[in-house]
Structure formats: C-alpha cells, structure tokens
Amino acid sequence: MSYQNKDNMRLAKKIGEWIDRDKVIKFSFEGEDYTGYEGDTITSALWANGVKVLGRSFKYHRARGVLSLANHDVNILVTDGVDTNIRADVVTLQSGMTLKVVNTEGGVVNDKKKIIDSISALLPVGFYYKAFHSPAVLFPFWEKFIRKAAGLGVVNFNYPRITQRKLNAYCDVLVIGAGPSGLSAALMAASNGLEVILVDENQQLGGSLVYDRAGGNAAKEMLDELSVKMAETPNIKVYTGSYAAGYYADHMVPIVTAKGITKVRAKTVIAATGAFEQPPVFRHNDLPGVMLGSAAQRLIYRYGVKPFNTCVVVTANAHGYRVALDLLNAGCTVVALVDMRAEADRDQYVGELARKGVKIYSSYCVYEALPSKSKLGVRGVTICPFDEKNGTSNTANSITLDCDGIAMSAGWAPAAALLYQSGMGVRFDNDIQQFVPNSLPNGIFAAGKVNGVYNIKQRGLDGMRAAAAALQYLGKSVETINVDHHQGASPSHFYPIVMHPKGKNFVDFDEDIAVKDFINAAQEGFDNIELMKRFTTVGMGPSQGKHSNMNAIRILAKIRNLPVEKIGTTTARPFFHPTPFGHLGGRSFHAHRLTTIHMWHKAANAVFVDVGAWSRPAYYQKSGLSRIETLQQEAIAVRQSVGIIDGGTLGKIEVCGPDAGLFLERFYTGKYIDQKVGTTRYALMLDESGVIVDDGIASRLAEQLFYLTVSTSNAAAVYREMQRWLQIWQLNVGLVNVTGAYGLINIAGPKSRDVLAKLVDIELSEANFPIGSALETQILGFSARIIRVGFVANLAYEIHMPSAQALNAWKALMQSGVKEGIRPFGTDTQRLLRLELGHHMPGYDTDGLTIPYEVGAEHALAMDKPFFVGQRSLQIIAKKPRNKILVSFVLPLDYSSEMPQDCNLVIDDGVIKGRVTSVSYSPAAKCVIGLAYVHPTQNQLGATFEIRTDNGSLAKATIVKTPFFNAE
C-alpha cells in the first residue's frame, strides 16, 4: 500500500537553483524507487516526489517531515545499508542509494513503535527516574527494554576504517559564513591585502540571499554582484560544503570538509554565522508538512521543489511575509497568513499579499495543526485570536482552515556557538529579542544576524564593519564603519508559545519535549536552565538545541517570571555539527624507533616487544620450542659460552666540561669527582622525594668526559632533567644526548673475551681490563667505546659505536663467535640473566614510591656529599621505620606446584606483606628464583615466607643470598 500521495512537487526551473536537471538520479527509499536530480539532498528529492513522511521521532516515534533543511532535521536519519544516521536534509543524493529510515519497526509508515505516542501521557519527562528501580531485583529486567529502545541507527560493524587527511592552514582573517555579511567582510579584508579563508556549510555561497527573496529579485541581484567580486578576488580561499566545527585557543578553528579537516590558525576570526530560524510552539507543530519558513524557501529556490500545495503561514515577524510571497511565487495557494503579533508595524509586504488574495489574520495564532486521518500529514489548522502579552488563545472564536502544510516564522536564535566558545560575553537585546555579543575576545569579531543585524543592507555593512575592525586589529589603518541599530519590529517574537490542554506542542523535536515537560520540570525544582536541560534533556539530542534552546529559555523565563537575560544560556560545546571519527582521528602517527640492527633481528626470527617507542627483540624464536624453552636456551648459551644482545636502545649521554664530575655528584647519589679515567661507577637517580627514578653506569672516558648509559624507557626524561638542573646550577658543563647516534652491543658469557679480542687491539685480560673498566679504542676501523659490565654475566662487554656501523659490528661479532657458538638473546632473556645475578631493575622491581633503602641500595648513597637530588628527603625517610624490603628467594629444588608469577602477593597470616616482582626458573641455579618485597621483620637469610599463587595455593620461599648460582 502506498501511503505517500506522490504528487510531483518539482517546480519549473528556478534561477540560481542548485540542481542539475540534466542529470537524473535514481534511488530508493523504504523499498520504493524514486528519481531526483544531481544537487538534490535526499530530503529535497523525496519531497519533490511528494514523499512527506521522512522519519520517526526518537522517543514517541511520531511521523516527521522537513523542519529546517539546515542540518538539524535529526528526526530524518537514514541508512544506506553501509552507513547509518545519515542526515537526509543535507546529505547530497547519490545515484543508486538504497535508503531506509533508522529506528523504526516495520518501516517509517507503519512503524509499530508509534504505539508509544499514544501512551505518552504515562511517560512525562523524567519519568524514568521514578520508575523501574523498585524492587531493585527487577531493574535488570526493565533495563533490557530501555536499552532496546535506546539509540538511533544500527552501527555497521563491517564499515571500513577511513582516515581522512588533517591539514594545517593559516590566514589573516577567517570568515565563517558566506551570507551577505560574511561575503562583504571577506571582500573588504581581501581588498586590503589580507589573506582570507571563507567557510560556509552550504554547498554554495550566498546564505539567505539564495532563498530569502520575498518573491522578487533584489536578493538574487545582490548575490550576483557579490559573486562577481568574489570571482575577481584571488586572496580569498573558499571552503563550501564545510563547517567550522568549533573555536579553540589562539584562534584555531577546524574546518570539516567532506574529505577531511583543515585546522585553520587565523590571526583574526569574523563570525558571520547567521541565525537559526525558531519554530513557534503549538499543538502538532511537528507533523510532516509543518516546516520553518526558511525551509520552505530553501526547497523552492535551491531545489525547485514546491513545499506545499495549499498552506497557511504562521508568523510573528516580517520574515513570514517574505515567505508567503515566495510561496505564492512558487505556485502555492496561501490560504492565510496568521500573525501572532498585536500591533507590529505592518510592513511593506502587507499590501502585496492582500493584492494577491492572501487573507491576513493579525493577533491570531495557530492553535493546533490538524493531523490527517493517518496522522501522517496535515489536513488543516485551527487558528484563533491570540493575546500575545498573556499568551492566551481565545478558542471560542477559532476558525478551521483546510491546508496540507504550514510554514512557520516566529524568530531566530543566533548561531553563536563558536563565539561562546571563544569567550564572548552576551547581553539580551530587547529590541530584537536576541542575545547579542557584549564583549568579544581579542581578534574575534561578529557580523550580521549573529551580531543582531537583520536589515539586509545593514548586514552587508556590518560585515564590512567587522572587517574594518579586524584590519585595525592587525595594524592596518582603515576607517571605522558604523552600522545602524535595528529599526522597526523585532525579527523574533518574545514568546511564540501557544498552550494547549492536550499538549503535543513541541519545543525540542530531537527529544520530543513539549511545553508541559518544562513546566513539570520547573515544578519539581529543576528551574535553572542547566538543571532543566539535564532533567528534560532539551538540547542534548544530535541537533544540540539549535531549534529548541531559545524557546526553552523563554519558557523558563516565563515560569520563573524573570527576564530572559536572567535565565542565561546553556554552554555551547563543540562540535557545531556532529563530526565523524575518521575525520577527527585522521592519519594516525604511531612513531617507532629501530636500531640499525633491527633488520638482522627480523631475519633471525626475533619476537619483538615495544619498549616505549622502541621495538626490541624479546627473544629469538626457534621452531619447536616454547617461549620459556627458548629463553632458557639463550640464557644457557650466555652462562656456558657467549651471548650477544642489541642494547642500542639504552640512553647514552655525554657529560663534558670542567664541572662534569660535580654535576654528576649533584644529579646522582654517588661520587664522581674522584672517579679515575678509564673506570665506571654506578649511577642511581632519585627524584626530590627520594624515590628511585633510574639507574645506569657512568664511565669516565677523559678528565672532562663522562659517558652515561641510562635505561631505555627513561632516557629522554633523564636527559631532560639533566638539562633543567644544569640551568639551575649554572655549572660549566656540556650535555650531549647521543642515544640515537651510538649503537650498543653487549656480549656476555665466559667466552665473550675471546670473541671480542679478535676484533680489538687492546689487552682484555682480567688484570688489564677488570670489571668497571672503560676505554675508547678502534673496532673495524672506527672508534668505539668498550665498557666491562656485569649486569647479566660476570664477564661481559658493552661495545658502543656510531650507529651507522652497529650492524657491521654485530655481524663481525657473530662471525667472530661462530666457533664459540655465540647466540643472540633478547630482553626477556636479559631479565632472567640479571635476576640470576640478583640485580633489580628500576621500573620492574621498583614502583613509583620505592626508596633506595627498600632495595638495599644504601651502598650507592653518598650521604656525606654536600648535596644530591633526593638527599634531604632521604634524611627524613631514614628516621622512619621501613615497611618493606626487597629480598631474593628460592623455591625448593623439588617445587612442582603452581608456579608463582610476578605480582603474586606475599601473605603472612592472611595479611599482605609484599609481592613478587621477578620470578623465573633459573637453568643456572636449577630452581625457581625471584625477588620479592617482604616485611623487614621477615628479612633474614634462610627465613621463609609464603607467596600466594594464581590458584590460591601458597608457595614457601626461602630468603637466600645472590647471585643465585655459583657464577665463577
């Protein structure tokens, strides 16, 4: 059954229309085929086909048609099967679209959920706070129903990942809005040599000049004139079909286009954003066929579509008269113009309308729109005398008129979201019944309707005034331009609200909120605009209150008997229009760092792990072996022969100059001034509260050159802190971060000396190069630094070389160690190896509160120094009792129950005493070994404590000395 009457509503070609009638587009909607033209929106094409029921409301599932045709018809959301929540009023029609309305059950015409509308009296605003929760056990049951009703479109889980480009752009003046004031502002600024960006959300320039014509040509002529000038002005970059999504600090405005986002950094911003037409509120003002006057005009002049056959215009301003003339011009029968005002100065259009046979009812209101039998459209209106002062309707004298549609023009709300976000202060201008800018931040200007200027000539002038002000702000000398204050009747009515005992007089179409809902909310104490918003949800729907907030404020003002300005406005948050993830996220930058040996690791089947931005081999996978088995094999190679690990990710910092030793003594806990050239010392870094931050090795390579290695993940932060303290201490020191410039290879194990010896010209014997030695030499013909270290094995060397040569050095060492069975190992194995030696690792065995006393690092604290970072706090902490200490433990040799894991807890008599920080089976010690925090009273060699494993069983651990195995 076809419900829609399917009249052909397409008009003869209109001058300046946006559609191309040579290009016919086929599409379907709710299972039926239609055609439109290129340039149509989905809504305009449907309306041209006589389709009026375009969607269903969110809460009551009431039939809805065109409201604004300006990107706030959020009851008209469709899906094409791929994408959802498509806004039909503005999305351009594409060939082959197969469209369905979202959130219906059984189609938009027969939506079964419309039943909710008939029980709406049961569901006043806020009802859900008062229902379902008692008894509590039943709430999950009710919640299922509530959750099912929630939401609009169904998300397509197969929708592709799209990352749009995000660009940066710069200009002297960003003009937002390309209506008469925006165009004038842009032209004026550009003609004075400024770089201008002009943005408008519509597909073409002109704003209301395109469609608000009062049946004549003056607006079109003005637009043509401005368009010619635009074409002649090269220094204006125009973005149409694009919106300014928000205002952010220091004049950054993201412009959202179909293809991505351009983040504009402007020196000045002119908001010529216009105003949203506001609906008068009367019963059934939401029926398909009831639309804003400007929506009717848009249909006519942009798309060549007749809004109605026979209609009534209800108005409270001059704009309604212009709309009526445009409707007549489009061939509509205008049965009546209903003017809610008592004694507005009757404007120039009255005579013209009368001549054309339109009956004007002054001091009348539309009391209600009469739904057609199906409730899917309008069959007429009831109008009656209206006392605008009291807002009362004289229903005794009502008149019923037949019509198939109503055009509404009662006033405007400024599209001031970006101005609010910039920090604008407002005042309420009673002459125009609108909030207007009272104070604007530096470099921000407003022009046109958003600035309270409605006269068409003055709007252009106001754009020029704003441009002149922007020019002056940028230091150009131009004459100040003055604009007249608004003359005549207000463009907005002070209270376009018509009460009706049966309600359904909607204020917010997104959320189906009617006048009574506000009254009830206020009665319950939600009589602050923000509380009212939260309780009623007015303005919280996808259109973000563009057509509802102003009426809500007026209603609340009336309820509280306060002037509108005392009510204030709700906060205007970004975004101006909802903005897709793919646009906002853009291309993702996932920066990562690789050492030059990376490709070798990759070829050797390394399994990588991320350490900060770095990618490091955790171990090298061998086929047929588990991770644990692989780790153990790599560890055994180190213990029995020789292993090699890429340490290029470690932080490497040169501390140079006469005060280098002094600097280190202040920065680290140890002593360095008396350190001998050619030796290394442990470097423990604390923060000012005495907590361990990092540790590393300081090698003194020359009298005035210390070479610091610090941990991979802290490298950048440690260098940064060094730079800061150096500024504060003003020592004669140079700092050079060579983390990326130097490669680092660590070879370890009893055979490491033999392997290295083949490549260097120095004596590596124990006597000549014992642990703690460091020197500069040559390897493969380039200079290298060799440090004898002991972190993973008693015999081990770090070789530091220019990173471009690291791969060569690695290959040479691998070659040199073939006979010894040299084996690469990764970070997971390294953790096991250092554990076997009993070394703790900052960040692994410590946390954000660990102090040196808790890990037995007293030996590293030169408390007798005059100063080091953290020293004074340690003096305080030293007086306090400890509550934990890191100990080394083993499990019995025959332990075979649940294996403890890192972070299992140490439990004593049901109380948490500490936790395991590192635990592993050690092939060298041939038992499970680990480090754990225990209570200091538990800390005795040979004492036992209990670890609770994942399955709840307790493992008995014994405190032992380290290293865990006989390392000699």
Partner 1 sequence: MSTINQRPVSNTPIAYGLMSLSPTMGVINGMEVALEFEGALIEGNRKSILGVTDVSCFASFGIKGTEAASWLMSQSIQIPMNRNTWVEHEGYLVLRLGGSEFLIEGQYSEDQYSHEIFEKLARFNQATVAGVYKVQRADAAFILSGSEVLNMLSELCMLDLRDSALASNTLVMTQLASISAILLRHQLNGEQVYRVWCDGTYGAYMWNMLLEVARELGGGAVGLASHFRGTHK
Partner 2 sequence: MKLLNCPMNGLRPLGEFIYGGEYREMPNPNNSSDLEWASYVHYRDNAPGVKKEWWFHSPSGTWFIAERNTLSDEVLNTYLFGKAPFPKNENLSDGKLGDEKNTELSA
Partner 3 sequence: MAYQLLKFALGGEYKEPRFFRDCQTPKKSYDAIIIGGGGHGLAAAYYLAKDHGITNVAVLERGYIGGGNTGRNTAIVRSNYLTPDGVNFYDASVKLFQGLSTELDINLFYTNRGHFTLAHSESAMRTMRWRAEVNKHVGVKSEVVGTDEISKACPQLDISCSGKSPILGALYHEPGSIARHDAVAWGYARAADSMGVEIFQNTEVQSIDVKNDQVQGVQTNRGYIATGKVLSAVAGFTPRITKMVNLKTPIVIQPLQACVTEPMKPWLDTILVSGSLHVYVSQSSRGELVMGSALDPYEVHHTKSTFDFVEGLTSHIADMFPFLSNVKVVRQWAGMADVTPDFAPLMGITPIKGFYLDAGWGTWGFKATPISGKTMAHTLAHDKAHDLIHSFRLSRFDEYELTGEKGAASVGH
Stretches 32-40, 291-299, 844-852, 863-871: which one binds partner 3 (CB under 8 A)? 844-852
**Residue ranges that bind partner 2, judged by CB under 8 A:** 248-250, 252, 657, 659, 688-689, 720, 723-724, 726-728, 730-735, 737, 867, 871-873, 875-876
Q: How far is the CB of 793 from partner 3 (least distance, A)?
A: 23
Which option in partner 1, partner 2, partner 3, none does residue 804 bind, with CB closer than 5 to 8 A by kind? Answer: partner 1
- With binding defined as CB under 8 A, does residue 140 bind partner 3? yes
Which option in partner 2, partner 3, partner 1, none does residue 396 bind, with CB closer than 5 to 8 A by kind? Answer: none
Query: Could you give phi then psi for residue 202, rounded to 5 degrees?
Result: -80, 165
Q: Which of residues 536-575 bind partner 3 (CB under 8 A)?
A: 542, 544, 571, 573-575
Q: 37-67 burial, b for 16+ CB within 10 Å, e for fewer?
A: bbbbbbbbbbbbbbbbbbbbbbbbbbbbbbb
DSSP per-residue letters across 376-416: SSEEEEEEEEEETTTTEE-GGG-EEEE-SEEEEE--EEE--
Q: How far is the CB of 848 from partner 3 (least distance, A)?
A: 4
d(CA 499, CA 391): 8
- With binding defined as CB under 8 A, does residue 907 bind partner 3? yes
CA angle 452, 562, 492 (to 5 degrees): 30
Which option in partner 1, partner 3, partner 2, none does residue 841 bind, with CB closer than 5 to 8 A by kind? Answer: none
Which option in partner 1, partner 3, partner 2, none does residue 730 bind, with CB closer than 5 to 8 A by kind? Answer: partner 2
Q: Which of residues 733-792 bind partner 3 (CB under 8 A)?
A: none
Which option in partner 2, partner 3, partner 1, none does residue 731 bind, with CB closer than 5 to 8 A by kind? Answer: partner 2
Which option in partner 3, partner 1, partner 2, none does residue 659 bind, with CB closer than 5 to 8 A by kind? Answer: partner 2
Which helix (H) or strand (E) is 834 found in, with range? helix 827-836
Nearer to partner 2, 279 or 690 (CB): 690
Nearer to partner 1, 753 or 839 (CB): 753
Stretches 132-140, 358-366, 523-531, 596-604: which one binds partner 1 (CB under 8 A)? 596-604
Nearer to partner 3, 704 or 949 (CB): 949
Which helix (H) or strand (E) is 182 found in, with range? helix 180-191
528 burial via Cβ count (<10 Å: 0-12, 13-18, 19+): middle
Nearer to partner 2, 594 or 717 (CB): 717
Which helix (H) or strand (E) is 438 found in, with range? strand 434-439
Contact 453, 394 (CB under 8 A): no
Mapped onto helix, strand or coil, the DSSP state of residue 615 is strand
Contact 278, 546 (CB under 8 A): no
Q: How far is the CB of 168 from partner 2 (least distance, A)?
A: 9
- With binding defined as CB under 8 A, does residue 151 bind partner 3? yes
Nearer to partner 2, 53 or 726 (CB): 726
Query: Could you give phi then psi for residue 476, rounded to 5 degrees?
Result: -90, 145
Q: How far is the CB of 910 from partner 3 (least distance, A)?
A: 9
Count residues near partner 3 (CB under 8 A): 99
By CB under 8 A, name the one of 263, 265, 379, 935 that touches partner 3.
263
Q: What letter would DSSP give residue 162?
A: -
Place of tokens 């999305």: 91
Q: Which of residues 134-193 bind partner 1 (CB under 8 A)?
A: 165-170
Q: Comparing C-alpha atoms, which of 747, 683, 675 is closest to residue 718?
A: 683
Helix axes 627-640, 827-836, angle to 10 degrees: 60
Residue type for position 936:
P
Which option in partner 1, partner 2, partner 3, none does residue 702 bind, with CB closer than 5 to 8 A by kind? Answer: partner 1
Instruction: Mark residues 255-294: x for contact with partner 1 by CB under 8 A, - for none.
Output: --------x-x-----------------------------
- With binding defined as CB under 8 A, does residue 805 bind partner 1? yes
- With binding defined as CB under 8 A, does residue 235 bind partner 1? no
Radius of gyration of the chain, Cα coordinates, nearest whole angstrom? 39
Contact 113, 105 (CB under 8 A): yes
Q: Which of residues 923-942 bind partner 1 (CB under 8 A)?
A: none
Q: Comparing C-alpha atoms, which of 887, 943, 939 is closest to residue 915?
A: 887
Q: How far is the CB of 845 from partner 2 (least distance, A)?
A: 24
147 burial via Cβ count (<10 Å: 0-12, 13-18, 19+): exposed
Place of tokens 């013209």: 352
- With binding defined as CB under 8 A, does residue 135 bind partner 3? yes
- With binding defined as CB under 8 A, does residue 520 bind partner 3? yes
- With binding defined as CB under 8 A, does residue 587 bind partner 1? yes
Stretches 304-312, 381-389, 768-776, 874-882: which one binds partner 3 (CB under 8 A)? 874-882
Stretches 222-230, 530-538, 749-757, 789-797: which one binds partner 3 (CB under 8 A)? 530-538
Q: 870-888 burial, b for 16+ CB within 10 Å, e for fewer?
A: bbebbeebeeeeeebbbbb
Cα separation values, 577 from 101, 163, 296, 384, 794, Å: 20, 19, 22, 38, 65
Which option in partner 2, partner 3, partner 1, none does residue 901 bind, with CB closer than 5 to 8 A by kind? Answer: partner 3
Count residues near partner 1 (CB under 8 A): 53
By CB under 8 A, name the one of 12, 31, 96, 147 that touches partner 3.
147
Which option in partner 3, partner 1, partner 2, none does residue 136 bind, with CB closer than 5 to 8 A by kind? Answer: partner 3
Q: Any idea of the CA torsion for 335, 337, 338, 340, to the nearest 10 degrees?
A: 170
d(CA 71, CA 871): 63
Which option in partner 3, partner 2, partner 1, none does residue 531 bind, with CB closer than 5 to 8 A by kind? Answer: partner 3
d(CA 173, CA 193): 11
By CB under 8 A, name the one of 112, 133, 758, 859 that touches partner 1.
758
Q: Any idea of the CA torsion for 848, 852, 857, 858, to the nearest 10 degrees?
A: 180
- With binding defined as CB under 8 A, does residue 579 bind partner 3? yes
Number of other residues whose CB lies within 10 A of the CB of residue 626? 10
Q: How far is the CB of 127 from partner 2 (least distance, A)?
A: 41
Q: How far is the CB of 678 from partner 3 (least distance, A)?
A: 36
- With binding defined as CB under 8 A, does residue 717 bind partner 1? no
Mapped onto helix, strand or coil, the DSSP state of residue 326 is helix
Nearer to partner 2, 423 or 821 (CB): 423
By CB under 8 A, name the one of 596, 846, 850, 888 that touches partner 1.
596
By CB under 8 A, name the one of 1, 157, 728, 864 that touches partner 3.
157
Which option in partner 3, partner 1, partner 2, none does residue 150 bind, with CB closer than 5 to 8 A by kind? Answer: partner 3
Helix axes 715-729, 660-667, angle to 10 degrees: 110
Number of other residues whose CB lies within 10 A of the CB of residue 841? 17
By CB under 8 A, name the one of 355, 592, 879, 961 that touches partner 1.
592
Which option in partner 1, partner 2, partner 3, none does residue 573 bind, with CB closer than 5 to 8 A by kind? Answer: partner 3
- With binding defined as CB under 8 A, does residue 593 bind partner 1? yes
Contact 748, 798 (CB under 8 A): no
Nearer to partner 3, 12 or 136 (CB): 136
Q: Which stretches of 357-509 are DSSP H helices?
A: 417-422, 456-473
List of residues contacting partner 1 (CB under 8 A): 165-170, 263, 265, 587, 589, 591-596, 598-599, 602, 613-614, 648, 654, 656-658, 702-705, 734, 736, 738-742, 757-761, 778, 780-782, 802-805, 807-808, 812
